[in-house]
Amino acid sequence: MKKHQNALKILKTARGQTEAAIKMIEDEKYCIDISNQVLASIALLKKANTIILKNHIESCVKEAAFGKDENEINEKLKELENVISYLNKNM
């Protein structure tokens, strides 16, 4: 969990912003203000995801590559391919 501390902090901030957006909707605040709050949450979620993926590459993928287990290497590469494919679909 230590390697994900920065991502955890960012996710908690995003949670707070999401809760604030919910409250703004409940309080019938101005639409653009709500949208800006939601966009800020999305930006933080993307940042946390980038940190998590970077940690994955620097630890799990690197370990697999140096371990020389071809099945594990292929598995880690397939995971990355799936994430990249998902990200490209949703851009």
Site of tokens 């287990």: 69
CA distances from 13 to 8, 34, 44, 45 (A): 9, 16, 8, 9
Q: What is the pTM of this model?
A: 0.84
Question: What CATH number does domain 2-89 carry, 3.30.565.10, 1.20.58.1000, 1.10.3720.10, 3.40.50.2300?
Answer: 1.20.58.1000
The encoded tokens of residue 45 equal 């979620």
What pLDDT is recorded for position 89?
87
With a pLDDT cut of 70, the percent of the chain lying above it is: 98
pLDDT digits (tens, 9 = 90+) for 28-50: 999 999 999 999 999 999 999 99
Amino acid sitting at position 70: E
Beta-carbon contacts of 3 under 8 Å, excluding residues fewer than 6 positions away, are 55, 59
pLDDT band at 91 (very low <50, low <70, confident <90, very high): low
According to DSSP, residue 57 is labeled: I
Read off the pLDDT band of 1 (50, 70, 90).
Answer: low
Mean pLDDT of 8-32: 98
Residue type, 43: A
DSSP state for residue 86 in the 8-state scheme: H
Q: Is the pLDDT of residue 72 over 90?
A: yes
Task: List the domain boundaries for the chain.
Answer: 2-89
